[in-house]
Structure 1
Amino acid sequence: GTSTTPAKPATGTPSATGAATPSSSATAQNGAVPDALRAATTPATPTGTATAKPATPAPAATTAAPAAPTAAQTEAAIKAQAVKGLTGIGWAQAKADEAATKVAKQYVALNCSTPGAVDKIVDDPDQPIATCGDDRTTKYVLGPSEINGSEIADASSGYQPGPNGQPTSIVEVALSFKDTGRAKFAAVTKRLYGLQSQPPLDQFAVVLDKSVITAPQARAVISDGRASITGSFTIDSAKQLAEQLKFGALPISFALQTQDNITPQLGEEQLRIGLLAGFVGLLLVVVYSLIQYRALGFVTVASLVVASVITYLAVTVLGTTHGFRLTMAGVTGLIVAIGVTADSFIVYFERIRDEVRDGRPLVAAVETGWKRARRTIIAADAVNFIAAGVLYFLASSNVRGFAFTLGLTTLIDLAVVMLFTHPTVQLLARTKFFGGGHKWSGLDPQRLGAKETLRYRGRGQFGSAGAQRPPATVGSARVAEGKAQA
């Protein structure tokens, strides 16, 4: 039974504190995160020297180094630590003694440097086990699993932000838990934080494929499910740990394709310019609609306002519930969506105008034009949505932001045209201003070059279909009848 020392010195032991920017999910025998009962380590062997300063130089007297503990002594020490940890999580004394005796023997017999030693370990998440660190030099005794890796929501690496929001020189791994794991992690850190004076009982272990990949100390009670692990990390080692927490053990490696570093000020400026470009594009669409379609263009304006409000609400809700963040690529998708939405209105209005040119009354022209335009609008939106879906699933992260907002606004465009624009035009077609073909309505038959066709109006009256007139009232019909009898 040789003694073991930690893979990292005490000053480098990772610690978990309640800070953190969240980011993706974790691991270990399907991602288990057990409560840590890290094996007690043998103190460093001191070489003491007692020196005297006599007038005449004399050799210093030395004390012999203490003998290494025997296997029995190591086993007894491990058992005592294990019993303390197991009873601390509510195990009965007799049950804890039995399990601690078994795991202490496993610890003494375990040789982490032996190839395949970890593979032979039987990992029962409900029982304590002896296992190795991923460096194959440190041995651990772990308690039962308390949090499964599927309950970790996100993990990321980077420089820890300071009080002013600027990054510091401290490298951290930030992780966040889902709602199901938040309360469990809070209970674990509360218990371990109370054991700060009894290391290593104040540590918890993250286990992947039976190996401990990190065992930070609990430096705070973390109740919000957002933790920051710091220690002797480099950027590369922190990135590796974050990826292990995110994806578990994968038979692949990751290659950096793109990396962008921007300051908060630059990001804010880019977002401001992007939103300004979107506003300018929206203004140009409004001006074009009013020039081309006159009063009918206000339907376009109202529809764009409705679509904008729905889009804003959708982005806000997704940001709150799913952590969606609007990037420059996403803003670009919103700008493109303005043109997509305006295109649907143009197709619809032009179909109505075509029917008016053919001599149909406006009410009939609206219904017939809608039937023709609906197929075109659905087909165009379907193509846009499919293209957005392909980009989202196959492209890089930057393009995915564009694809997501494009797909979202395409669905919103379809809903607005179906449920707002068409019903609004139906109502306007029954008004005197639009139904009578006012020259500023945008549906003036003479301005559109409608065909002059005669249609029977009743009581022996014929009129031009091109001259859109509101239907005669009952009173006017009676006056006409009285004049005929006279």
Structure 2
Amino acid sequence: MAPPTSSQIKPGRTLLVLLAIILAMGATIALQKAFVPKFGLDLAGGTTVTLSPVTLDGKPPPSESIDQAVNIIRARVNGNGIADAQVARANDNIVIQIPGVGQREALGLVSTTAELRMRQVLAYGPSTNQPVQMPTAAATPSGSGAPSATPSGGSTPTPNASGTPAGRALSSALAAPSPSAPADAKGGAKGDGKAKGDAGAKAEATPTPPVPTPGATEDPLAGQDTSGIDPALLTQFRDIDCTAKNKGQGVQDDPNKQIVACSDDGSARYILDKAAVQGTEVSGAQAGTDPTTGEWIVNITFKSKGASQFADITRRITTLTPPRNQLANVLDGVVIVAPTIEEAIPGGSARISGNFTQVSSTALADQLKYGALPLKFKQSQVVSVSSTLGQDQLRGGLISGGIGLLVVVLYLLLYYRGLGLIGVASLGVATAVTYSTVVLLSHNAGFRLSLPHIIGLVVSIGITADSFIVYFERIRDEIKEGHRTLRSAVEVAWRRARRTILVADAVMFIAAIVLFALAVGDVAGFAFAMGLTTLIDIVVVFLFTKPLMSLVARMRFFAKGHKLSGLDAERMGRTSPAEQTLQEA
């Protein structure tokens, strides 16, 4: 069976399809309460950030590294190409213009190296040194001295080797317990029945524990295995205060050296071994939720070499004692999470968790997915951009666009008369669909309306007008030939006109794609708007202009060639369509 022709498809149904599309878009906008699109940097203001590279040796960075960083940052902040963020190189600096106000997350996204390294934890401690507990006064049994701090047998209990705060607290309690507290107050040698009973008898022979110096602090490495750690790192670990760490990037760590690092929330400090797996071995990253806990996580997959390295390190440390059985995920020298490894993890995939939100997990996944910056950068300048000038330009552009649209409408009505109303209605529908599309893209795809976009949208008025003008002229040509009624002329003219319309729109759309692919910034924004409106033009002409023309061809006003219809005999240079029908009969 042959497919139905355009004349066999009921125009009313086609118009209902378009109406349903418009209503669905309007309902989505109403549900999201997104009635106005987001504006770009030139219309809404925003922030301009200048990043300056920092190298380990203080020398200027390679030009190739700067170019690579520009491409990576551009991919991060403008990955979909329509967010209106602009990234450009200025000598050895990188200038990023980010639209909107309060773009703290975006600033962190562009200025971090996002270099992931997985390192074994060698030592662990709280963020700052804890003060030693001062002894308190306590009553002494009659006829006896101070109680002994040494359990029966004279042996000193071995501190817990755990690197956890609880383990260190236990070690301190056993080494120098408070005289006023029983031996099991901290969970200590509760089973030693002689610790308290022998205190009075041995008071004279047992030395009194030394009184701690006021202001002294507990050694955060007490009870931990420090073998294999560089002595300089031990000193650095004792001195570092993670509560005062610089927010943003951590240290520019060398993957081939042990380092001291803080947790991202500043609550803990670590001594970490050389990198077992580097971020260059990450092949992909995606934000998601844990199906059991519902918390946000980042799933990462490794390349073949990274998968092997990850399996090796998890297999090696799984049998070690805490905290050396922990594997820290380090991003730019900051520990994101340091989970305990209970078994080897083969397969080439892993996940990062650590109190993420949807926004933070997505940002981290994007950083890892788009790649690590080859250099460390510092924010050398952050400037707020005013939208005053852009608002003035927008007002002027809207006035100019309104005047141009009014001129087009007047021309259509004066030249095409009744047919001009169909053209005006087509422009109205195209405007509604375009505005709805822009709003939906703005609130769901990161699109920000800027002046280049508006220019592209205004230019589209001419594209839409060209399409139905081609159709109208084809109809008039068919009628002037003198062998067709209006209804048949509408169908024959459509078969000829649609080929011309599709070819013209295809050329325009290809030009938009090429311009968008080769250009950046404002030019890319103009190309995007031009391509978008070209697609909308095809939708409007096929789903509105043509079906509406098929309906009005059945109206006597147009079929009889009324003087105001635009299809009258005088304008056609021949007898009216109605008279021609009578002559053919």
**Alignment correspondent of 2:440:** 317
Aligned pair partner of 2:416 in 277, 288, 293: 293
Which residue identity does 1:411 align to in structure 2?
L
Q: Does residue 419 of the first structure (1) align with residue 502 of the second (2)? A: no
Q: Does residue 134 of the first structure (1) align with residue 244 of the second (2)? A: no
State whether residues 32 and 206 of structure 1, in contact with CA within 8 Å, keep that contact through their aligned partners in structure 2: yes
Aligned pair partner of 1:338 in 446, 457, 461: 461
Alpha carbons of 1:83 and 1:381: their partners in 2 closer, same or farther (altered >3 Å)?
farther
Whole-angstrom CA distance in 1 between matches of 2:165 and 2:284: 27
Bigger helix fraction: 1
**Alignment correspondent of 1:436:** 560
Aligned pair partner of 2:517 in 393, 396, 399: 393
Deviation per residue, 1:103-157 (Å, 9 max, x gap): x76x75355999xxxxxxxxxxxxxxxx985266842457999xx99668xxxxx
Alpha carbons of 1:78 and 1:297: their partners in 2 closer, same or farther (altered >3 Å)?
farther
Whole-angstrom CA distance in 2 between matches of 1:293 and 1:368: 20
1:214: Cα distance to partner?
3.9
**Alignment correspondent of 2:36:** none
Q: Does residue 348 of the first structure (1) align with residue 471 of the second (2)? A: yes
**Alignment correspondent of 1:271:** 394
Q: Does residue 468 of the first structure (1) align with residue 551 of the second (2)? A: no
Alpha carbons of 1:178 and 1:376: their partners in 2 closer, same or farther (altered >3 Å)?
farther
Alpha carbons of 1:290 and 1:323: their partners in 2 closer, same or farther (altered >3 Å)?
same
**Alignment correspondent of 1:374:** 498
**Alignment correspondent of 2:163:** 80
Alpha carbons of 1:40 and 1:447: their partners in 2 closer, same or farther (altered >3 Å)?
same
Structure 2, unmatched stretches of 5+, are 1-55, 57-101, 130-158, 169-220, 234-249, 261-269, 299-326, 338-354
State whether residues 294 and 440 of structure 1, in contact with CA within 8 Å, keep that contact through their aligned partners in structure 2: yes
Whole-angstrom CA distance in 1 between matches of 2:395 and 2:290: 38
Q: What TM-score comes out, normalization by structure 2 length?
A: 0.44
1:447: Cα distance to partner?
1.4
Whole-angstrom CA distance in 1 between matches of 2:103 and 2:121: 22
**Alignment correspondent of 1:109:** 228
Structure 1 segment 247-262 matched on structure 2, within 5 A: 247-249=370-372, 262=385
1:38: Cα distance to partner?
8.3
Structure 1 segment 448-467 matched on structure 2, within 5 A: 448-450=572-574, 466=576
State whether residues 185 and 225 of structure 1, in contact with CA within 8 Å, keep that contact through their aligned partners in structure 2: no
Alpha carbons of 1:404 and 1:352: their partners in 2 closer, same or farther (altered >3 Å)?
same
Whole-angstrom CA distance in 2 between matches of 1:315 and 1:278: 17
State whether residues 453 and 525 of structure 2, in contact with CA within 8 Å, keep that contact through their aligned partners in structure 1: yes
Q: Does residue 225 of the first structure (1) align with residue 335 of the second (2)? A: no
Deviation per residue, 1:84-119 (Å, 9 max, x gap): 79xxxxxxxxxxxxxxx9xx76x75355999xxxxx
Deviation per residue, 1:272-318 (Å, 9 max, x gap): 33333332222221111111111111111111111111111111111
State whether residues 183 and 223 of structure 1, in contact with CA within 8 Å, keep that contact through their aligned partners in structure 2: no
1:246: Cα distance to partner?
7.6
Structure 1 segment 156-171 matched on structure 2, within 5 A: none
State whether residues 285 and 365 of structure 2, in contact with CA within 8 Å, keep that contact through their aligned partners in structure 1: no
Aligned pair partner of 2:425 in 302, 312, 315: 302
Which residue identity does 1:440 align to in structure 2?
L
Which residue identity does 1:381 align to in structure 2?
D
Q: CA RMSD in A?
A: 5.1
Which residue identity does 2:486 align to in structure 1?
L
**Alignment correspondent of 1:358:** 481
Residue identity over aligned pairs, in percent, reads: 42
State whether residues 391 and 400 of structure 1, in contact with CA within 8 Å, keep that contact through their aligned partners in structure 2: yes
State whether residues 385 and 410 of structure 1, in contact with CA within 8 Å, keep that contact through their aligned partners in structure 2: yes
Structure 1, unmatched stretches of 5+, are 1-6, 8-18, 45-75, 86-100, 115-130, 153-176, 188-203, 230-240, 451-464, 478-486
Structure 1 segment 7-22 matched on structure 2, within 5 A: 20-22=103-105
Aligned pair partner of 1:402 in 526, 531, 547: 526
Matched length? 313
State whether residues 288 and 297 of structure 2, in contact with CA within 8 Å, keep that contact through their aligned partners in structure 1: no
State whether residues 512 and 530 of structure 2, in contact with CA within 8 Å, keep that contact through their aligned partners in structure 1: yes
Alpha carbons of 1:132 and 1:334: their partners in 2 closer, same or farther (altered >3 Å)?
closer
Aligned pair partner of 1:281 in 396, 404, 407: 404
What secondary structure does 1:207 align onto?
Answer: strand
Whole-angstrom CA distance in 2 between matches of 1:301 and 1:34: 67
State whether residues 33 and 149 of structure 1, in contact with CA within 8 Å, keep that contact through their aligned partners in structure 2: no
1:340: Cα distance to partner?
0.7
Whole-angstrom CA distance in 1 between matches of 2:537 and 2:461: 9
Which residue identity does 1:416 align to in structure 2?
V
Which residue identity does 1:325 align to in structure 2?
R
Which residue identity does 1:468 align to in structure 2?
A
What secondary structure does 2:330 align onto?
Answer: strand
